[in-house]
Amino acid sequence: MAMNPASVSQLLEDMENWDKDKRFMAASDLTQEVTMSNQVLDVHLQKRVCQAFVKQLEDQSIDVQGNAVKCLAKIVCKFQEQQIGEVLAKLSQQVLDGKAEVRDIYATCLKGLLSELPASCSALACQNVLPKMLHGITSIPSLEAAPPSWTASSCAHGHFWHLEVKEECTDVFHDFLKRFGAGPGRLT
């Protein structure tokens, strides 16, 4: 099945609609269009699709965010390495310092992407994911490291926040090792 560029452009536009249901459906329809197509996306279109899904990860609707997680995992293999790297880096950063209430969504998305990536992307994943996850696991909690919304009065909760970050980073690191760390030379 060939992709219709006008249809893709309309779906990308609908992914920014004021109506959360329309944003949700446009993302689902775009994912189906991309996965069902036998065409390789051109670089410009890949970049636009990638940016649209990354933007939806920050959507105010939790349903739209969750859908973006599922959609990204399905289409990641259709992207070129540059876009894959950008998505991996963005998700890794969000696991570290994204909103606490959706941190698990970012971690779940990142783990889903790692599971879908071909073995040939192991170095790319290593470069974009591992440094951030190791930082999250090994860093020492401080108020400066807490999200901007935290204040000195919320310091007692700061330790809990930091443990959540460590837990999510450890889970991602574990999934990374399960996926790419099984044999010699797999991380090169």
Query: Closest Cα to residue 86, out of 126, 121, 47?
Result: 47
CA distance 87 to 80: 11
Long-range contacts of 79-85 (CB under 8 A, 24+ apart): 79/41, 79/46, 79/49, 79/50, 80/43, 80/46, 81/121, 81/124, 83/46, 83/47, 83/50, 84/113, 84/117, 84/121, 84/124, 85/124, 85/127, 85/128
Residue at a domain's end among 44, 79, 114? 79
User: What pLDDT does residue 49 have?
Assistant: 93
Residue with tokens 């994943």: 125
**Number of domains, the chain:** 2
169 and 98 assigned to the same domain: yes
pLDDT at 186: 45
Q: Are 141 and 76 in contact (CB under 8 A)?
A: no
Claim to verify: residue 75 and residue 85 sit in the same structural domain: no
* CATH at 67: 1.25.10
What does the alpha-carbon distance between residue 160 and residue 34 come to, in Å, rounded to a whole number? 40
Domain with 25 in it:
1-79
Are 34 and 61 contained in the same domain? yes
Taking the C-alpha atoms of residue 130 and residue 42, their distance in angstroms, rounded to an integer, is 29
**75 and 87, same domain (yes or no):** no
> Does residue 166 share a domain with residue 73?
no
pLDDT per residue as tens, the chain (188 positions): 667 778 899 999 999 999 999 999 999 999 999 999 888 888 888 889 988 998 998 899 989 998 998 999 889 888 888 889 988 998 999 999 888 888 888 899 999 999 989 889 999 999 999 999 999 999 866 555 555 555 544 444 555 568 889 999 999 999 999 999 865 444 44
pLDDT of residue 64: 95
Residue 109 is classified by DSSP as H
Other Cβ atoms less than 10 A from the Cβ of 92: the count is 23
Rounded to whole angstroms, the Cα distance separating 121 from 101 reads 30
**Domain end call among 40, 58, 79:** 79
* Length in residues, the chain: 188
Tell me if residue 74 falls in helix, strand or coil.
helix
| Model confidence, pTM | 0.79
- Do residues 73 and 13 share a domain? yes
Same domain, 68 and 106: no
